[in-house]
A and B are shown apart, each in its own frame.
Chain A
Amino acid sequence: MTETATPLPRALIVDDEKEVADAYALRLRGQCDVQTAYGGQTALELLDEPVVDIVLLDRHMPGMSGDDVLAKLDEREFCGKVIMVTAIDPGFDVLDMPFDDYLCKPIDREDVRVAVSQQCEVLGYELLGEYFTAESKRRVIAAEIPGDERADHDGYREVEQECDALRERIRRLLDESAALLEAFDAVGREGR
């Protein structure tokens, strides 16, 4: 097992066929921190905590199908990317599909890595946008409340936690995250 200093994006692979799920998981080793689930129900349990960034979801599973899992994720307002794994290739782009990307079985070793890294990047930038908004808000509140009162201020604590969580996710999703975050921090906004 590899222990690396840089945090990796978290991926969950869901396929009722252990052989398939395990094969993908090994392919993504080193690129992601990978978990596997061999059924829809288990997948939903694993998705509760901690936060998963990318889900590779087999569409056709007995019992709870990939589409069922997807519907549940929508209900929970899952904040991550879903790559659907299907058996057929209709040759469509995914712009108006209910998932973020799809791959057709059998998946080429490189395809799965490229698709996952693309989605990591897309998610990373989306979260970066959210982070910028949250961080600006935090700074506005920070400017208004004296330093020793902030710890007791609910609104401030909440936005601060949100900022920390987003920062952590962005770090593992984007290679150039350090530079991006630094550049954002360097801009003086308080105007004083």
Chain B
Amino acid sequence: MDELSANAPLGILAVEHEGMVAECNEEACDLLGCAQSEVVGEDITVVFPDSIEATVASSFEGQLDRERSFEEYYPGLERWLAVSLVPTAEQVHLYVSDVTDSYRAKRRTERIRDDLNRVTILNELISDVLADLVDAAGREEIADTICRRLGETDLYEFAWVGERELGGDDLVVRAAAGRSGRTLEEIERCLADSTVPEHRAIDSGTSVVIQPIGDDERVAEPIRRAAFADGLQSLLAIPLTYGSSVYGVVGVYTAEQDAFSERERASFETVGEMAGFAINATRHRNLLLSDTVVELDLDISDPDAPFVRAATDADLILTVEGVVPQGEKLLCYVAVEGSPVDSVSHSLQSHPSVQQTRLIGEHETGGMFEVTLGARTPLGLLAASGVTISAADYRVGEGTVTIECSPAENVRRIIDAVSREYELTVLAKRERERDVTTAGEFRDALREELTDRQENALRTAFFADYFESPRGSNAQEVAEALDITGPTLLHHLRAGQRKLLAEFFDVTDDS
């Protein structure tokens, strides 16, 4: 072989027409993975590796009368080779080069393009879901919308929405869509044992990704089996959250491997938050829009309830004047009738479910406390179930709580949520028309309360943009306008604001 061919960066073999290899260069030996001595003198069909198409071998079996070029995969070498067969009068020349890298690059490009398509489709899908959520009228519609949108695309096999039963920790399937196969059946069967991945999402309030499902030991085996049989590879469980409330969970299942990247997970978390927000909004809308409300009087005299215990220990009367939910916690403003008020705070502070107490004010006949209750108290559980606590009164060994909820609300479930942990009896249930206060009535009621000086101070301050931010006028300027001192103005303003807010929050104000 001449020097030009011998040193070529291309595999070259010269083969007799009958198939015997006459000579070959070093590059050819490298490509074929054998020594020169193993090639020269041997039959090309034996020396050249196997491919499925076996074009080299078949070319020598027949008459090779024209040039042929092809690219084939050689599994034995794990390489793609580009081969040219050039017949001359005496011999056939083979030119061989390795094109594996370009094939792999092509494959990679295809994969990236597929990923990109997927992301585009997903983004459209998610914006559709969000648009639907805005219009959803109720909790069930929200669950249906999410399932339908996610379960009926080609991206995912199926989706289901689970919600916790109000009376307990068990999840129930609220909606499902797509090819749920045997997997959802097994999920339903396992719901009572809390071994479903969705449980973890709802407990922690954060999304859970499991991929592959088949060999993740944290998933109950019957579910894994069914998922494997159904060809499911990845799952994502997203909690439906609003603030610290978790309203439910969506489970999304797909046949794709490693389907849920950090990016997809983040997009879905937004869906979970939007859905939580929408569910929360519909609950309030139900309560606000209904003309009637259901009012329940509950007897919660369980000695373990913090306020019952405090009233008993101190032998005083406690009245909850208002409550403010703060995430899992509940802030209660409690009026104490009788003294000493210290004994109430001692009792409350020693209660494991009371996180904090603060004395707001004390007078001869009693005082006012701010009490931070944990979630697992009677009032905490009631507030978490979305009802309005309208009154709560406690005396020795006795507690009565009045709640309001929309007629659409399932009262039984709310009761169960509390009675699982505390003794509770329903004393009375009433359905009544909602109090409707017109703006005019509100103004009249307020006028009766406000003194002329207070109203004047409020009006002047308001029109002088004192309440704007930043202030249009400061207190000194408003006071000068009214020809009073600054401290006097602030006194009137505070008194006026207190009355305004008391009327707004519907609290009787005796001062």
Interface residues of A (CB under 8 A from B): 1, 17-19, 21-23, 25-26, 29, 36, 59-60, 62, 65-67, 86-92, 96-98
Residues of B456-501 whose CB lies within 8 A of A: none
Residues of B241-258 whose CB lies within 8 A of A: 255-257
A sample of 10 cross-chain residue pairs with beta-carbon separation below 8 angstroms, ordered by A number, consists of A18-B73, A23-B75, A25-B52, A26-B75, A26-B76, A66-B231, A88-B215, A89-B215, A90-B212, A92-B228
A26 lies within 8 A of B215 (CB): no
Q: Which 4 A-B pairs have the closest CB atoms?
A: A90-B214, A23-B75, A67-B231, A88-B212
A65 lies within 8 A of B231 (CB): yes
- The CA-CA distance from A73 to B225 in the complex, in Å, is 22
A42 to chain B, nearest CB (A): 14
Q: Point out the residues of chain B lying under 8 angstroms from A1, CB to CB.
A: 54, 57
- The CA-CA distance from A38 to B174 in the complex, in Å, is 41
Q: Point out the residues of chain A lying under 8 angstroms from B224, CB to CB.
A: 90, 92
Chain A residue with Cβ nearest B111: A62
A90 lies within 8 A of B215 (CB): yes
> Mostly helix, strand, loop or mixed at chain B's interface?
loop
CB of B292 closer than 8 Å to a CB of A: no
Interface residues of B (CB under 8 A from A): 50-52, 54, 57, 73, 75-76, 78, 107, 114, 212, 214-215, 224-225, 228-231, 233, 255-257
Q: Point out the residues of chain A lying under 8 angstroms from B52, CB to CB.
A: 21-22, 25-26, 36
B214 lies within 8 A of A98 (CB): no
Q: Point out the residues of chain B lying under 8 angstroms from A89, CB to CB.
A: 214-215
Chain B residue with Cβ nearest A17: B107
Given A60-B255, A88-B215, A22–B225 Cβ distance below 8 Å? no
B120 to chain A, nearest CB (A): 16
Chain A residue with Cβ nearest B212: A88
B214 lies within 8 A of A88 (CB): yes
A65 lies within 8 A of B215 (CB): no
Q: Point out the residues of chain A lying under 8 angstroms from B76, CB to CB.
A: 26
Centre residue among B73, B75, B212 by max chain A CB count within 10 A: B75
B51 lies within 8 A of A22 (CB): yes
- The CA-CA distance from A164 to B29 in the complex, in Å, is 51
Q: Point out the residues of chain A lying under 8 angstroms from B233, CB to CB.
A: 60, 88
Q: Point out the residues of chain A lying under 8 angstroms from B73, CB to CB.
A: 18-19, 22
A110 to chain B, nearest CB (A): 16
Q: Point out the residues of chain A lying under 8 angstroms from B215, CB to CB.
A: 88-91
- The CA-CA distance from A97 to B232 in the complex, in Å, is 13
